[in-house]
């Protein structure tokens, strides 16, 4: 069974640009969540989608947005990039449909975004 696939693996952008990252979950998984990882702030929750609906959102500005398609694939978009947006963006998928505390999240390898 294929794991969580994130594309692209690396991305270099300049300030002010926008970027779209893609995530394909494990087959059969309907929940997709996104995390930002930086050396200073660690791993922070961005948002979570289930059946094309955003169920929870972290404390990030409106420049960060996402969506989920009917096939559970997800994209996140960052508009008007800032230097501080440079980070590893990790996508995770899980089966869960009721917010169970025992649902394991399976992560992709991430997209390393560098903003110059």
Q: Which residues bind another protein (CB under 8 A)?
A: 31, 33, 35, 42-43, 45, 48, 50, 55-56, 58, 88, 90, 92, 96, 99-110, 112
Q: What tokens does 59 get?
A: 């404390």
Cα(59)–Cα(11) distance, integer angstroms:
23
Is the CB of 78 or the CB of 105 nearer to another protein?
Answer: 105
The answer to whether the bond into 53 is cis (omega within 30° of 0) is no
Q: How far is the CB of 67 from another protein (least distance, A)?
A: 16
Q: How far is the CB of 40 from another protein (least distance, A)?
A: 10
Is the CB of 70 or the CB of 102 nearer to another protein?
Answer: 102
Q: What are the CA-CA distances from residue 100 to residues 17, 33, 35, 82, 103 (Å)?
A: 37, 14, 19, 35, 6
Is the CB of 56 or the CB of 80 nearer to another protein?
Answer: 56
Q: How far is the CB of 50 from another protein (least distance, A)?
A: 8
């Amino acid at each position: 069974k294929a794991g969580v696939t994130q594309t692209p693996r690396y991305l270099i952008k300049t300030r002010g640009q926008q970027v779209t990252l893609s995530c394909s979950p494990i087959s059969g998984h309907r929940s997709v969540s996104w995390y930002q990882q930086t050396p200073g702030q660690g791993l922070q929750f961005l948002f979570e989608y289930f059946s094309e609906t955003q169920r929870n959102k972290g404390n990030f500005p409106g420049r960060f947005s996402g969506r989920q398609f009917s096939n559970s694939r997800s994209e996140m978009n960052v508009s008007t990039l800032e230097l501080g947006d440079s980070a590893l963006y990790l996508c995770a998928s899980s089966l869960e449909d009721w917010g169970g505390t025992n649902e394991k999240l399976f992560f992709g390898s991430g997209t390393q975004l560098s903003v110059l």
